[in-house]
Amino acid sequence: DVKVTQSSRYLVKRTGEKVFLECVQDMDHENMFWYRQDPGLGLRLIYFSYDVKMKEKGDIPEGYSVSREKKERFSLILESASTNQTSMYLCAIGAGTEFYGYTFGSGTRLTVV
Amino acid sequence: KNEVEQSPQNLTAQEGEFITINCSYSVGISALHWLQQHPGGGIVSLFMLSSGKKKHGRLIATINIQEKHSSLHITASHPRDSAVYICAVGGTSYGKLTFGQGTILTVHP
């Protein structure tokens, strides 16, 4: 089975802290994604990466950055956490086609206080 | 207007009922995905389809490419089917998905 592992299930951070969310995959897949999920807004794409050191902004990149130094690891960085970044963060890998689907991590529920 | 619209947003059913969730999209796609998320749980992929119909147990997914519409059916619904069902469409750009808002399904015993 494909594994997408997010380092923390629950995280509480203070406003202004630098926060790192880690995602590791075991499928050697090129495409990795970071989404946030909020009630009433659904899932929204923050950043994605299609190869090592390659990254593209998604729909809501403000306040976030990413790092992909190795193919299996994709990190989401909150440079200075704010309360409006309290959310569920989901990492995913995949091609989104009928034959190469999508696998999600179990999510990190981040609370910024 | 969202690129992916689901209906209904909330659905309540009695155990055993036949359930239909609809998804309409306005963009070109390579595939449509139906996803399931139980309360407090992660997201799992139920179906990926680009044409026709797929069946897995009590779940059936159909897609009409010309009408840009898909349906997810659950036959003989059960309380364990209670979850959020999410429709997502994938284009051709690096596998990015665009998601619907989700349908909250509650099945009562």
Name chain B contacts of A103, Cβ cutoff 8 Å.
Answer: 45
Taking the Cβ of residue A25 and every Cβ of chain B, the question of whether any pair is shorter than 8 Å is answered with no
What residue in B sits closest to A102 (Cα-Cα)?
A: B45
A106 secondary structure, DSSP code: -
Number of residues that make up chain A:
113
- Determine the average pLDDT of the residues in B74-78: 96
Residue A25: helix, strand or coil by DSSP?
Answer: strand
Q: Mean pLDDT across chain B, nearest whole number?
A: 92
Of A31, A106, A107, the CB nearest to B95: A31
pLDDT at A97: 65
Q: Is the pLDDT of residue A25 over 90?
A: yes
Q: Is the pLDDT of residue A1 over 80?
A: no
pLDDT at A22: 96
**A40/B30 touch (CB, cutoff 8 Å), yes or no:** no
How far apart are alpha carbons A15 and A25 in whole angstroms? 29
Taking the Cβ of residue B97 and every Cβ of chain A, the question of whether any pair is shorter than 8 Å is answered with yes
Question: pLDDT (tens digit, 9 = 90+) per residue, B79-107?
Answer: 999 999 999 998 766 678 889 999 999 99
Q: Mean pLDDT across chain A, nearest whole number?
A: 92
A9 secondary structure, DSSP code: S
- Determine the average pLDDT of the residues in B11-35: 93
Of A41, A101, A105, the CB nearest to B45: A101
**B96/A33 touch (CB, cutoff 8 Å), yes or no:** yes
Give the rounded percent of residues in chain A with a pLDDT score beyond 90. Answer: 77
**Which is it for the CA torsion B15, B17, B23, B24, positive or negative?**
negative
How far apart are alpha carbons B106 and B61 in whole angstroms? 19
Sequence-distant (6+) residues with CB within 8 A of B40 are none
Question: pLDDT (tens digit, 9 = 90+) per residue, A45-64?
Answer: 999 999 998 999 999 999 99
Question: pLDDT (tens digit, 9 = 90+) per residue, A81-108?
Answer: 999 999 999 999 987 666 677 899 999 9
